[in-house]
């Protein structure tokens, strides 16, 4: 079956702009989690969505937001981009919350803010 | 809060054994995960420990001691393709959220 698909793979934006990233989970998976990965910081949890509802939120400012659609696809949005937002953004899908052993990651979107 | 520590880098020779340690101090515990991430690729699940002891899966084994807040991932018979970053993550019992360490980059040399 198809894996987790994230689009776009690469993105360059200017400070102050906003960006929307997309994640299509594995068919049948209803939970989507988003992470920010930077060198030295590892993966930092952003938020998790299940059945179109945000279940959890990490310690990120309100500029980071997300949503999930009825087909389980998820988007995350970052507004008023800052240089420090440059990172690899990963999403992971699983059948349901807590099914981490069945979770699969996408290849990520590499965002560069200039 | 969550504090998960692992070494930044390790180097080993092809055919050898490498042990990657992970120590954690977290507000709760509901399992420890190891992931492998090759450069430019998605992290992939390697192992899961929730009870103390050793879990073996082929060339890879993972150990957990909950009382010590300690885990290790053991890679045996190293191959060049094992060169990657290895991520340790602890799951929160209340919301199942994963907290990750910064990752250990393993370089396998011929």
Residue with tokens 């929307």: A20
* Inter-residue contact B48 to B98 (CB < 8 Å): no
The more confident residue out of A24 and B1 is A24
Interface contact B7, partner A, CB < 8 A: no
Say how far apart CA A52 and CA A40 lie, in whole Å: 32
Answer yes or no: is pLDDT of B22 > 80. yes
pLDDT, tens digit, 9 for 90 and up, residues B27-64: 889 999 999 999 988 999 999 999 999 999 999 999 99
Q: Would you call B42 and A104 a contact, using CB atoms and an 8 Å cutoff? A: yes
CA nearest A112: which of A9, A16, A12? A12
Residues of chain A with Cβ-Cβ distance to B95 below 8 Å are 55-56, 97
Q: What pLDDT was estimated at residue A46? A: 96
CA nearest A95: which of A38, A50, A39, A34? A50
**Which residues are within 8 A (CB) of B68 and not within 5 positions of it... i.e. 6 or more apart?**
B23
Q: What pLDDT was estimated at residue B97? A: 87
Say which of B41, B45, B103 has its CB closest to residue A42.
Answer: B103
> What is the rounded average pLDDT of the residues A18-25?
98
Mutate to test the interface with A, among B49, B102, B105 (most CBs of A within 10 A): B102
Q: Would you call B41 and A43 a contact, using CB atoms and an 8 Å cutoff? A: no
Residues of chain A with Cβ-Cβ distance to B96 below 8 Å are 97-98, 100
Residues of chain A with Cβ-Cβ distance to B33 below 8 Å are 100-101
Say which of B33, B45, B96 has its CB closest to residue A98.
Answer: B96
Mutate to test the interface with B, among A10, A25, A48, A105 (most CBs of B within 10 A): A105
pLDDT, tens digit, 9 for 90 and up, residues B73-93: 999 999 999 999 999 999 988
Say how far apart CA A47 and CA A64 lie, in whole Å: 9
Mutate to test the interface with A, among B98, B99, B104 (most CBs of A within 10 A): B98
Instruction: Return the percentage of chain A with pLDDT > 70, whole number.
Output: 99
How far does the CA of residue B100 sit from the closest CA of chain A (Å)?
Answer: 6
Quote the tokens at residue B29: 């515990």
Give the CA-trace dihedral at A65, A67, A73, A74, to 10 degrees: 10
> What is the rounded average pLDDT of the residues B90-99?
89
Q: What pLDDT was estimated at residue A29? A: 93
Q: What 8-state DSSP symbol labels residue B80?
A: G
Helix (H) or strand (E) holding B47: strand B44-49
């Amino acid at each position: 079956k198809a894996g987790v698909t994230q689009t776009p793979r690469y993105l360059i934006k200017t400070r102050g702009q906003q960006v929307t990233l997309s994640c299509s989970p594995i068919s049948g998976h209803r939970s989507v989690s988003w992470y920010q990965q930077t060198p030295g910081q590892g993966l930092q949890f952003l938020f998790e969505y299940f059945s179109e509802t945000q279940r959890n939120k990490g310690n990120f400012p309100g500029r980071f937001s997300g949503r999930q659609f009825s087909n389980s696809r998820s988007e995350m949005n970052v507004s008023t981009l800052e240089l420090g937002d440059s990172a690899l953004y990963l999403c992971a899908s699983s059948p349901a919350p807590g099914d981490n052993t069945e979770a699969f990651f996408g290849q990520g979107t590499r965002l560069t803010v200039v | 809060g969550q504090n998960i520590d692992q070494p930044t880098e390790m180097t080993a020779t092809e055919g050898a054994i490498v042990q990657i340690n992970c120590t954690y101090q977290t507000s709760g515990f509901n399992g420890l995960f190891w992931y492998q991430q090759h450069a430019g690729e998605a992290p992939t699940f390697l192992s899961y420990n929730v009870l103390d002891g050793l879990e073996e899966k082929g060339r890879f084994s993972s150990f957990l001691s909950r009382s010590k807040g300690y885990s290790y991932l053991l890679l045996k018979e190293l191959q060049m393709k094992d060169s990657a970053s290895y991520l340790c993550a602890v799951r929160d019992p209340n919301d199942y959220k994963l907290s990750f360490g910064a990752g250990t980059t393993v370089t396998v040399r011929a």
